[in-house]
Amino acid sequence: MKDKYVTAILALIGGVIGLHKLYLKNDLLFVISLTFCWTLIPLFFGIYEAFRFWNMDHHTFNNKFNRLAINIYKET
């Protein structure tokens, strides 16, 4: 199960190469961020997403990124 604070820290520290995208299992956006890291555009998106994840409600984060893990947990 993914944590919103870990995601926010990864976005802040490694947002330039898309580490938070890799953590969230979004491989396509990770490759795009890695491809364009030399332009520093992913850095700005990473900083923005770090604040967005940090301020996001736990329920909203779980519904968006941990939906499968929550459904498996509820069934057992």
10 Å CB burial of residue 56 (0-12, 13-18, 19+) is middle
Q: Is 28 helix (H, G, I), strand (E, B) or coil?
A: helix
Q: By the 8 A CB rule, do 45 and 16 touch?
A: no
**pLDDT, tens digit only, all 76 positions of the chain:** 899 999 999 999 999 999 999 999 999 999 999 999 999 899 999 999 999 999 999 999 999 998 765 555 565 5
Tokens (6 digits) for 63: 């519904």
Reading the block at residue 62, the tokens are 């779980």
Q: What is the DSSP letter of 66?
A: S
Please count the other Cβ atoms lying within 10 Å of the Cβ belonging to residue 62: 17
